[in-house]
Amino acid sequence: MAGALPWLKPGLLLGSLAPLAIIVWRASMGTLAANPIAEALNQFGLLALIFLVASLSPTPLKLWFGLKWPLRVRRMLGLLSFFYASLHLLTYALLDLGGEWRTFLEDLGKRPFVTVGFLAWLMLLPLAITSTNASVKRLGFTSWKLLHRLAYVAAGLGVIHFVWRVKKDASEPVMYGLALAVLLAVRAWDWHQTRQRKKLGA
């Protein structure tokens, strides 16, 4: 199994960077949108949420269908989510606000969707930093696993950020919220089943 699917990670990496290349190319050609900064901001945020929800799906896919190969790219999916979330944040702070950090700090206090989005990014930061095998050994698997459950909280905040940002038509963020709820339900069911088996074994 170790040598199976050698194209998986390189293919995922190339495919995940394609949207970025398209956004940059269209922006350079002046065909991105009437407001290219807003369009890039929205696209980066959406990609961050997509990759974050995708990073939470490998374990449920294994529990549901016995698929093990998605586990091999779970960490990469999480890092890609952090990458696009950082681009989303930088686009907002440096391009949309023109690098006015005072305005950014004011927005954090006055605009709830900005606050929630920034909190989601802050939760992804320690997950990205501790994504290495060395971090697992240093923290211990149990503590590392507990820390990385913040991904669910970050995803929930990401959905709220999306809902509050679009304001009117919330159908798309609700779709991601439902997907997250299903993934959480599968994990909760597995946790309950595991507890029941331990009780019976005791």
pLDDT tens readout for residues 46-101: 999 999 999 999 999 999 999 999 999 999 999 999 999 999 999 999 999 999 99
Contact 61, 14 (CB under 8 A): no
Render the burial of 68-93: b for 16+ CB within 10 Å, e for the rest.
Answer: eebeebbbbbbbbbbbbbbbbbebbb
Q: Which residues contact 163 (CB under 8 A, 6 or more apart)?
A: 170, 173, 174, 177
Nearest-angstrom CA–CA distance, 23 and 39: 9
pLDDT block averages, 10 residues each, the chain of length 202? 75 96 95 94 97 96 92 96 98 96 95 97 97 94 94 97 88 94 93 80 60
What gap in Å lies between CA 87 and CA 2, rounded to an integer?
33
Whole-model pTM: value is 0.93
